[in-house]
Amino acid sequence: MMQTRILRAEGEALHLAKEYLERGEVVAFHTETVYGLGADARSDDAVRRVFALKGRPSDNPLIVHVHAEYDISPLIDGEPPYAAALRRAFLPGPLTMVYPSKGKVSKYVSCGLETLAIRVPSSPTAQAFLRAVDLPVAAPSANLSKHVSPVTAGHVYDDFAGEIPLILDGGACTGGIESTVLDCTGDVPRILRQGLVTREMIADVAGDCGVYRPQRGERPKSPGMAYRHYSPSCRTAYCRTAEEAETLCREEEGRGGTPYILCASADLPAFSGRNVLDLGGTGEEMAKNLYAHLRTAEREATLLVGLEPRERGGVMAGVLNRMRRAFGVEDET
């Protein structure tokens, strides 16, 4: 077991991060969405180590992260005009763009797909790290496969203590859900995973934006979407009415358990006296709070009852997608 250090991304820590990556080791780092588990994207061994550490299925590709001045043109095989416009509008930021690949990074990054997902995170910690290493960094979210994504350095530590040498701490993530993944290989951009950069925001710049929905039985375009994900380790139940949620809590108490409710601020009055995890009022607040609350629930609750927020529009598509999948229910958005 190695020692896992948690350091701010400055001075000596950045030198260490560079050394570790050049040696084929894996380093976790803060981004504005969730923490990432980074490795040199050009190294087969380092990329395979990321899959092994997470227990990630070998058909779920990784995103390559680069700093704001990094020239991605050697990595990608052309870029449609709308994608260049989207880059100017939203990067650095929580938007991942999928391009035709030139095959310049390890084949394990894209799991046999002919595309490459690229992201330029905006958090100062991520930028300092990516500048210091100055190479393409393959990084999934820094959680064990299927577990809740990490939004603090402590969450990363809980999943990987003793397994990685360094976590670059940038505090709590302000975005809170993973980046929007956008397919930029067609005539019109298409969302593969909803996130903080919304369909409306993309359509405003690109003129149009589709949302990919896998057909029954089809291999999904973004393979990560096929798995149950983001799940807390406690028992969970998902409700669409407060009455239903209240009944489930009463039953759980009757069994001697400790139920917690996860709901929007607007629904708090229905649950006075109960253990409540308040998601907040706006979509942005709910995105920021969701994963931290799921991690709290797994420490404190025997049953987590999720009440679907009524808020719609904007980033709620992404929030509801993550929330439904954390509770193992079909996503309708």
Asked if 141 interacts with Mg ion (CB under 5 A), we say: yes
**CA–CA dist 225, 65 (Å, integer):** 20
What 8-state DSSP symbol labels residue 231? B
Residue 277 · residue 286 · CB < 8 Å: no
Residue 189 corresponds to which tokens in the numbers above? Answer: 């951009």
Which 173-232 residues touch Mg ion, going by CB under 5 A?
none
Q: What contacts 123, CB < 8 A, 6 or more positions away? A: 30, 31, 32, 170, 173
Whose tokens are 């067609």? That residue is 186
Residue range at the interface with ligand TXA (CB under 6 A); choices 130-138, 162-170, 173-181, 258-266: 173-181
Q: What contacts 118, CB < 8 A, 6 or more positions away? A: 63, 64, 65, 66, 72, 75, 76, 96, 97, 98, 99
Q: Which is nearer to Mg ion, 259 or 318 (CB)?
A: 318
Minimum gap (Å) between residue 46 Cβ and ligand TXA? 15
Q: Look at residue 244 and give its three-state secondary structure.
A: helix
Using the rule CB under 6 A, which residue among 96, 122, 125, 152 binds ligand TXA?
A: 96
Minimum gap (Å) between residue 204 Cβ and ligand TXA? 21
**Closest residue to bound ligand TXA by CB:** 224
**CA–CA dist 191, 172 (Å, integer):** 26
Using the rule CB under 6 A, which residue among 135, 181, 276, 326 binds ligand TXA?
A: 181
Using the rule CB under 6 A, which residue among 9, 17, 135, 139 binds ligand TXA?
A: 139
Asked if 179 interacts with ligand TXA (CB under 6 A), we say: yes
**CA–CA dist 301, 203 (Å, integer):** 41
Residue range at the interface with Mg ion (CB under 5 A); choices 93-101, 141-149, 160-168, 255-263: 141-149
**CA–CA dist 44, 202 (Å, integer):** 34
> How many other C-beta atoms are found inside a 10 Å radius of the C-beta of residue 52?
12
Asked if 105 interacts with ligand TXA (CB under 6 A), we say: no
Asked if 62 interacts with ligand TXA (CB under 6 A), we say: yes
| 261 interface partner picked from Mg ion, ligand TXA, none, CB below 5 to 8 A per type | none
Residue range at the interface with ligand TXA (CB under 6 A); choices 8-16, 222-230, 304-312, 316-324: 222-230
Task: Report the interface residues with ligand TXA, using CB under 6 A.
Answer: 31, 33-34, 36, 60-63, 96, 98, 110, 113, 115-117, 119, 121, 139-141, 178-179, 181, 192-193, 221-225
